[in-house]
Amino acid sequence: MAYKTMDIQIKAGLFKDAWDKTSKEIQKGLDEGHKNGWKLINCIQTVSQKNINVYLLIWDTQD
């Protein structure tokens, strides 16, 4: 098994905080992994502040 990690950094915009953009940005990462045929192992929120959220996606690349 081979594993790949993907960091997703979500920063606040002018009129929205980072939470407003979370699901859309995570979905982009999920779509990329699905397109590559990877299996999602875990999604971990590693940092959360007012203006930034960081998520770590761990994938099984099945290599």
The 10s digit of each residue's pLDDT in 19-47 is: 778 888 999 999 999 999 999 999 999 87
Predicted TM-score of the model (pTM): 0.80
Q: What is the pLDDT of residue 59?
A: 97
**What average pLDDT is seen over the chain?**
88
Token readout for 34 is: 């699905």
Residue 12, pLDDT > 90, answer no
Q: What is the pLDDT of residue 55?
A: 93
Answer yes or no: are the C-beta atoms of 49 and 29 closer than 8 Å: no
Full domain range(s) for residue 21? 3-60
The number of distinct structural domains making up the chain is 1
Residue 63, pLDDT > 90, answer no
Answer yes or no: are the C-beta atoms of 50 and 17 closer than 8 Å: yes
Measured torsion, CA atoms of residues 50, 23, 58, 9, in degrees rounded to the nearest 10:
-40
Distance CA 1, CA 28 (A): 24
Answer yes or no: are the C-beta atoms of 25 and 8 closer than 8 Å: yes
